[in-house]
Each structure stands twice: as C-alpha cells, then as structure tokens.
Amino acid sequence: MVTTSTPKKLAKVEHLKTDSNYLREPVASELLLDTNYFTEDAIQILKFHGSYQQDNRDNRVKGEEKDYQMMLRTRNPGGFIPPQLYLALDRLASDYGNETIRATTRQGFQMHGILKKNLKPAITAIVQNMGSTLGACGDLNRNVMAPPAPFKNKPEYRYALTYADRIADLLTPQSGAYYEVWLDGEKVISGEPAPEVKAALTKDLDPTIFPGDAEPLYGMQYMPRKFKIAITVPGDNSIDIFSQDLGLVVITNPKGQLLGFNVYAGGGLGRTHNKEETFARIADPIGYVTKANIYDLVKAIVSTQRDYGDRTNRRHARMKYLIHDWGVAKFKAKVEEYYGKKIQPLKQLPAFKYLDFLGWHEQGDGKLFLGISVVNGRIKDDGDFKLRTALREIVQTYQIPMRVTPHQNVLIYDIKPADRDKIDKILIANGVEPDPTKIDTLVRYSMACPALPTCGLAVTESERVAPSVNERFRALLDKLGLPDEQFVIRMTGCPNGCARPYMAEVGFVGSFPESYQVWLAGCPAQTRLAQVYTDRMHINDLETFFTPMLEYFKIDRKPDEGFGDFCNRVGLASIREVCKH
Ligand code: SRM
Ligand code: SF4
C-alpha cells in the first residue's frame, strides 16, 4: 500500500522572506508612505534590519489607534562600542528616543520610542558613527557574544573577541538591502571583513554555499528562526554558553597561541506556557575543531539548521528542537557531511564560573577598565541618579571605548591610571556607585527583561518591578537571619526567556498579570537548567511563598552551599513537602 503524506504548509514568514527581494520589500516602499506604522508583513522584514514595531502599552485606549513606536537594536559583537557610537546613541536617545539607552542581555544596546518617520535618520546616524543594526533581530545570526573583559595580557580573551567579530561578519546578510533602504545605497565601510571570512563565503564546491546567490550562505529564505552564537574562554561563563544555539570555547597552547575551539550546540530558552512541546534546553557538547576549520564548522552547523530546521511551525523552528528530535549523534553526522571531515573529541576544560567584571581592574597593558552596574540595563537619568549624564561626560572627556556585558552592565576601558579618581568622582557626583562591593549582591547579579510597556509579548511587568522584588528579598533574608546571602535572580514578563531566567537560581517568569512561574535550582555558574517549582505566584505573596523555603535552606544547607545548589540537592519535591506548597 502506498501512503502519501501531505507536505506541511510553510509558515507565513517563510513566504514573506522569499518575496522580500532579499530583505528590501515591503519595508522600502512602506518607509516612503506618510503613515506612523508598518503593516504586519513589513514588520517581519523590518526585524532583519534591527527594528521592531511596538506600541506604548501604557497608552493603549480601547477603540483608539495604538501609540506606535519603533525599537532599534544594535549589532555589536562582543559588546564593543566605540566612543563615537556611544555618543551618537546618547544623542539619538534625546533626538528620537525615550531618553534612555538599554544594555541588552546579548551585549547590544536598544533604543525605544522612535517614531517611524525618524527611523531612517536614526539608523543612518548609527551606521555613520561606526555602528549597525543589521541582523540584530530576524531569522538569522544574532549578535555574537564574547566575554566583555578587555584583558590585553590574556590572549584567549582577544581571540574570543576577534572570532566573535569574524563569525558575525561571516553570518551578516550580504544582499546590500540594508544600505539601499537606510543609506540610499551608500555602503559605509566600518572595517572590511577579514580575507579568510570573505574566502569562506565564496569557496568553490562548498556544500554549504549557494553559488552566485545574493546570500551565499542564507539563500533567499534566510534561517528558519533566530540563531545565537557565543564564544568564550575556558572557565569564563559570563556569556551563558549553554543557552546558545552554538557555543565555542577558544583553546590555546601554553604559549597562548590559538589552536582551535570546543563546540557546543542546541541550547535555547524560549518556551510557551502550557505547551509541553516547547521547552528550555541546554547545549550539548559536540566536539573540537582546529582554528583552520572554524569557519567551515560554523557554516556546516548553520547550514544543517538552515536546511533541516522546521520552517512550518515557528514554535518548533529553533535548532534545539532539531537536535532534540534527531539526537546528538544524527545531528553531528549531518554536520560532518556538510563539513566534510570528522569532528574531533572535546578538549578537557576547567569548570566554568560566573564572572561579571564589575569594579576597577588592570587590563594588562598598564591601563585600567571599570565595570559599572546598570540596573536592568537601563541607562537613564532619574532624579539624583544620573547614569546617562555620567557616562556621556566620561566618554566625551576621555574618548574611551565601552563593552556591553551579557548581564546588562557596561565596562569602560583603556583608562589611564591617572584618570581613575576623576572618573570615580564623575560617577559619584551623578549618584552612581562605582564600587560593586557597595551594591547589594541581589541587585548586582539580577537581570530583568523590558516587558511592559514596550514589549508586545509581555503578560506582566518585569523591569519595572524587579528592583522592588530585589528589595523585598533582601528584607526577607535579613529578617530570616541570612543577611549576607546572595543568589542570581532573573525575571521576565513572559516565557520567552529574554533575561535567561531558566538558568538562574531563582527565576520569575510572567504567567498571568501580576503573577509569575517560579523556577529554582539553577546555579551561579550558569551550567544547569533550573526547574519549574510553581506555575503561579502572585507578586504580593512573595514573602509568604519564600519564607518556608528559605527557612529550610537555612537549617539544612551544607557549609557554603548556595540557594540554587541547595534546591538542586534536596530536590523540588522535598521543598514542596517541607513548605506545604
Ligand atoms: Fe528576546 C522576543 C527583548 C534576549 C528569547 N525579545 C523579544 C522581543 C523583541 C519581543 C517581540 O518579539 O516582540 C523583546 C523586545 C522587548 C523590548 O521592549 O525591548 C525582546 N530579548 C530582548 C532583550 C532586549 C532583553 C533584555 O533584557 O536585554 C534581549 C536583546 C538581546 C540582543 O541584544 O540581541 C533579548 N531573547 C533574548 C534571550 C537571551 C539571549 O539571547 O541570550 C532569549 C532567550 C534565548 C533564546 O533565544 O532561546 C530571548 N526573545 C526571545 C524569544 C523566544 C525565542 C524562542 O526560541 O522561542 C522571543 C519571541 C520570539 O522570538 O518569537 C523574543
Ligand atoms: Fe518581552 Fe517576554 Fe522577552 Fe520579556 S521575556 S522582553 S516580556 S518577549
């Protein structure tokens, strides 16, 4: 008997990509219209250019037009922001934005509140000041992460940044649409890709490349879904490697020369409440490749997901589902087919640590860097607290570069020791604490996504309530006789996981208005997935909810055991039993 199965229908976005003439339409045409919003179809393509259409949800009035505004996101591998770009973003925040700049969890900056008519001048200004928004959003490779510390005497840190840059270039759209739409065709060159990157895109007889295509690697349909890469150094998990589609670790010899990379794949955090088929997943180890082969390996993994990722169901389209469905062995075999070689066994690595690089540090060439805590990434002036003013003054005066960190903070670097006190003074005069030991550790290690009012997907608050949640936690810990306790708290307004709550020791994931799923048992090194403890905790119940749990922790913890490790050791069932939840 012959059975025929009907091929599944492609997701609508797949048609929009194919019909977009390599990301040009309908954005280019709609940009010329005298409207204050883009249509649904244009919105999907606009994302590839680094912008989302949003509306201020605080201003929604039933029956009235939404308060449309655009969010712009920068693409800056490893979080590198030259001084000229920072000052341009700061100006744009006043000229077109909402007077804030927001450091993101992938080391980019976001601007909110830009009207459609101002989008073109804003993007033009970013590109003319050595920045880009191309590929910051959309179905392609997103901002490539790397540890933000600018150590000049640790070659592995330099390699991580260099390769973050090169892999970002390898996976940047090539079609030219971005420059046509926003810069009237003028291609502002802020640094040509390295020759080896160019060569990797034009290799003859390479099964990963579409010869002669305007997008040699992506083709006209781009990726099935967003794709995320991070590169780190042994022991440094500042970039949350296990949450990435593709994670690389630089391997050097004792002389500090680059040998190759350990490869991890299949991480991803986005999920949907009550849909078991969607889940957060941590990456699997895949193996080791030499530095000569790294571009071929990256292309092989990207092409495997490009060709086999699910283009019919966007909730099932991330590479983590392909690896989950196939198993690691089949995935690896397919990658090796594209790669043309065997992937070698993984090199042994030291344990990963959580590093945030806040405070003053020597950078290894006689100069210093300073990591500054930015609460939930929001750079703003608010009463006596004037972080935005302080950063502007520092960058303007000293013309120093910046790295955005994966924890929504910023590092300024290349600072002469003689300028250290002056910089401290500027910060203190503007109400900003430069000494991280004076910042509450709960605040220091926590993150929250933007959620309301800008995020269209938020079911409840995140950034706006996170500071009060940290304060209430601290008060509770004090009351329970745990005054010095610290742990990683992360909050999001919906289950998409933008502040990586599923890796936290305590994760709050918006599930209903004012209510959160609570995730426990992650660890500070970000190497273990947390587990869901409850689906709904009303924010008003925080103290009653956590009191019995923290009392249990206080009595039964092992010496020096953190809260996440404790929850993992005793198990969530035991906590439920003790707490009668
Ligand atoms: Fe995210 C969608 C904000 C990092 C998973 N994310 C969104 C949107 C654009 C909402 C939308 O689609 O309409 C949010 C804009 C909010 C706003 O008002 O600005 C948004 N995501 C952010 C940022 C700004 C959060 C932050 O606190 O910094 C981060 C920007 C990073 C960057 O510079 O590129 C951000 N998002 C992440 C991360 C963490 C990471 O990448 O390390 C994740 C989880 C990791 C992952 O991708 O698996 C993440 N965002 C999502 C998802 C779920 C994806 C999925 O696989 O299901 C969505 C929704 C979607 O894609 O459909 C989403
Ligand atoms: Fe929006 Fe949800 Fe991401 Fe928060 S986690 S920014 S609410 S999509």
pLDDT band per the 50, 70, 90 thresholds, residue 189: low
Q: What percent of the chain clears pLDDT 70, i.e. is strictly above it? A: 98
Q: How far is the CA of 32 from the centre of ligand 2 (A)?
A: 30
State how far the Cα of 18 lies from the Cα of 13, in Å rounded to an integer: 9
Residue 3, pLDDT > 70, answer no
Residue 215, pLDDT > 90, answer yes
Q: How far is the CA of 17 from the centre of ligand 2 (A)?
A: 24
Q: How far is the CA of 465 from the centre of ligand 2 (A)?
A: 14
* Domain presence at residue 321: yes
Alpha helix positions (H), 412-465: 420-429, 441-445
- pLDDT tens-place string over residues 351-381: 999 999 999 999 999 999 999 999 999 999 9
Tell me, yes or no, if the pTM score tops 0.85: yes
Structural domain including 510 reads 443-580
Q: Which residues line ligand 2 (CB under 6 A)?
A: 449-451, 455, 457-458, 462, 492-494, 496-498
* Domain presence at residue 69: no
Q: Which two tokens stand for residue 225?
A: 């879904």
* Domain presence at residue 212: yes
Shared domain check, 233 and 172: yes
pLDDT band per the 50, 70, 90 thresholds, residue 427: very high
State how far the Cα of 162 lies from the Cα of 80, in Å rounded to an integer: 11
- pLDDT tens-place string over residues 475-503: 999 999 999 999 999 999 999 999 999 99
Shared domain check, 456 and 311: no
Across the strands, what pairs with 246? Answer: 229, 265
* Domain presence at residue 334: yes
| 73 is known as an active-site residue | yes
| 228 is known as an active-site residue | yes
Non-local CB neighbours of 425 within 8 Å, separated by 6+ positions? none
Active-site position among 281, 318, 449, 474: 449
Q: Which DSSP state fits 245?
A: S
Give the domain-ending residue among 440, 463, 490: 440
* Domain presence at residue 379: yes
Average pLDDT over residues 551-563: 97
- Element (H or E) spanning 286, and its range? strand 284-290
Better pLDDT: 1 or 512: 512
Nearest ligand to the CA of 244 is 1
Shared domain check, 336 and 367: no
Active-site position among 137, 494, 523, 567: 494
Alpha helix positions (H), 40-106: 40-46, 83-95
Ligand 2 atom closest to the Cα of residue 497 is 5
Q: How far is the CA of 499 from the centre of ligand 2 (A)?
A: 8
| 455 is known as an active-site residue | yes
| 166 is known as an active-site residue | no
Shared domain check, 295 and 265: yes
Q: What pLDDT shows up at residue 191?
A: 60
Q: How far is the CA of 52 from the centre of ligand 1 (A)?
A: 11
Ligand 2 atom closest to the Cα of residue 499 is 5
Report how many helices (DSSP H) and strands (DSSP E) the chain contains, helices first.
Answer: 18, 21
Instruction: Give, using CA atoms, the residue closest to atom 3 of ligand 1.
Output: 498
Give the domain-ending residue among 355, 380, 397: 355
Nearest ligand to the CA of 110 is 1
Nearest ligand to the CA of 242 is 1
Ligand 1 atom closest to the Cα of residue 230 is 42
Q: What pLDDT shows up at residue 581?
A: 80
pLDDT band per the 50, 70, 90 thresholds, residue 1: very low
Instruction: Give, using CA atoms, the residue closest to atom 2 of ligand 2.
Output: 494
Q: How far is the CA of 230 from the centre of ligand 2 (A)?
A: 20
| 579 is known as an active-site residue | no
| 494 is known as an active-site residue | yes
Q: Which two tokens stand for residue 21?
A: 């003439």
Among the listed residues 127, 104, 284, the one whose alpha carbon sits nearest the alpha carbon of residue 112: 104
Shared domain check, 268 and 410: no
Give the chain's domain count: 3
Residue 4, pLDDT > 60, answer no
Instruction: Provide the CATH number for the domain around residue 304.
Output: 3.30.413.10
Shared domain check, 502 and 368: no
Buried b (16+ CB within 10 A) or exposed e, 28-64: bebbeeeeebbeebbbbbbbbbbbbbbbbeeeeeeee
- pLDDT tens-place string over residues 268-285: 999 999 999 999 999 999
Per the CB < 8 A criterion, the answer to whether 135 and 218 are in contact is no
Give the domain-ending residue among 328, 355, 382: 355
Average pLDDT over residues 248-266: 98
State how far the Cα of 212 lies from the Cα of 245, in Å rounded to an integer: 28
Q: How far is the CA of 561 from the centre of ligand 1 (A)?
A: 32
Q: What pLDDT shows up at residue 5?
A: 65
* Domain presence at residue 51: no
Shared domain check, 426 and 511: no
Q: How far is the CA of 497 from the centre of ligand 1 (A)?
A: 7
Average pLDDT over residues 130-142: 97
Candidate from 498, 502, 526 with most ligand 1 atoms within 8 A of CB, to mutate: 498
Q: What pLDDT shows up at residue 366?
A: 98
Shared domain check, 307 and 252: yes
* Domain presence at residue 127: no
Task: List C-alpha distances in Å: 444 to 82, 323, 390, 439, 486.
Answer: 25, 34, 19, 6, 9
Nearest ligand to the CA of 105 is 1
Ligand 1 atom closest to the Cα of residue 376 is 27
Using DSSP's 3-state secondary structure scheme, residue 532 falls into strand
| 523 is known as an active-site residue | no
pLDDT band per the 50, 70, 90 thresholds, residue 190: low
Shared domain check, 406 and 523: no
Q: What pLDDT shows up at residue 192?
A: 74
Q: What percent of the chain clears pLDDT 90, i.e. is strictly above it? A: 94
Residue 194, pLDDT > 90, answer no
Shared domain check, 347 and 236: yes
Per the CB < 8 A criterion, the answer to whether 116 and 35 are in contact is yes
What is the DSSP pairing of strand 489-492 with strand 506-512? parallel
Better pLDDT: 206 or 529: 529
Handedness of CA 347, 348, 351, 357 (dihedral sign): negative
Shared domain check, 342 and 201: yes
Ligand 2 atom closest to the Cα of residue 459 is 7
Q: What pLDDT shows up at residue 7?
A: 72
Residue 19, pLDDT > 80, answer yes
| 142 is known as an active-site residue | yes
Q: What pLDDT shows up at residue 185?
A: 79
Q: What pLDDT shows up at residue 188?
A: 66
* Domain presence at residue 573: yes
Residue 186, pLDDT > 80, answer no
Shared domain check, 387 and 508: no
Q: Which residues line ligand 1 (CB under 6 A)?
A: 52, 54, 71, 73, 104-106, 108, 110, 136, 142-143, 226, 228, 243, 268-270, 318, 377, 408, 449-450, 454-457, 496-500
